[in-house]
Amino acid sequence: MIYLLLSILTASGLNILFKIFGHRSMDLFKVIMVNYIVCFLIGQFFSPTPIGWTEMLEARWFSYAAVLGIIFIVGFNIIAQTVHYFGITLATVMQKMSLLISVIFAILYFGEGVSFLKIIGLILALLSILLITKREKKEVTASSAKERYRHLYLPIFTFLLSGLIDSMLLFLSKRGIVLTTDPHFITVLFGMAAVSAGLYYLYLRVLKKIENLTMGELLAGIILGSINYFSIYFILRLLQTGWDGSILFPMNNIGILVVSAIAGIVFFKEGLRRWNWLGLLLALMALAILGYEGV
């Protein structure tokens, strides 16, 4: 349970940081790029032995880490575009609703059991996502209705990629391909994400479509990376504690929403409507039911 709590807290910390960075009008792509570099360096620091290229390329998990690293940076850009065209509310809903993919994958591929309590907990979890993220007024976006129609694939890809990442981590853990005692996996994963982001940044610089990295963005990336590394580390540790993925991912996603909502009230003075409070109540009920089912 301690790893679940740490996973929720670190992931919620990322949400809080993104909200702060958004208020400061930073270029989030550059912040994310620095974040991945920092994550890679932290992984190097915690590795008991240097990562040898020959050993790394022969590792069972190398191809998975490389693919996940690329998915991380591609997914970030798609989420950013989803926010641009459709608003942050829809982007958040699609990210959190992706738990359906990992739950279905865990049940069908790994044969995890389906009980009445688990179904009730999942239904409450999904309802809580909709209610917590619901806003009274329609968000103002930088796009027209015609542009949003042409970019309908963005929220769909946000949903699919978020679910794919969770499902891949579950697969690697359940199959014993990645062990928590091997920090090289996370290091290579973030290294691939950093390389992909760096190459894309250079491409944008050549086309003069992006400005130089500022000191504020550098500092923000360092802070973000220091937390992001451990958010992935704790979710991997959590996956190897024996919990069913069909219980773990809903609890993790709902826990992040609850903590982020509370942080919004405490630190950003965000007011919640009655349906938001109802969503928080349903989320707590879902956590209790799924937690009981997972014990």
Residue-wise pLDDT tens digits, 53-90: 677 788 888 999 999 999 998 988 888 788 778 877 78
Give the pLDDT confidence score for residue 26 in this predicted structure.
82
* Whole-number Å distance between alpha carbons of 131 and 142: 24
What is the DSSP secondary structure assignment for residue 7, as one 8-state letter? H
CA 287 to chain centre: 19
Range of the domain at 237: 2-294
10: nearest Cα among 232, 205, 189: 232
Mean pLDDT over residues 11-35, rounded?
A: 86
Give the pLDDT confidence score for residue 120 in this predicted structure.
94
209 pLDDT tier (thresholds 50, 70, 90): confident
Q: Is the pLDDT confidence value at 41 over 90?
A: yes
What are the structure tokens assigned to 265, written together?
């009230």
Report pLDDT digits (tens) over 157-191.
999 999 999 999 999 988 888 876 578 888 889 99
Contact 222, 36 (CB under 8 A): no
Number of folded domains in the chain?
A: 1
- pTM for the full predicted model: 0.87
* Whole-number Å distance between alpha carbons of 20 and 13: 11
SS3 207: coil
Q: Is the pLDDT confidence value at 139 over 60?
A: no
Give the pLDDT confidence score for residue 138 in this predicted structure.
60
Q: Is the pLDDT confidence value at 95 over 80?
A: yes
What are the structure tokens assigned to 292, written together?
């009981």
Mean pLDDT over residues 102-119, rounded?
A: 92
258: nearest Cα among 224, 291, 281, 228: 281
Radius of gyration of the chain (CA): 19
Contact 7, 235 (CB under 8 A): yes
* Whole-number Å distance between alpha carbons of 239 and 43: 19
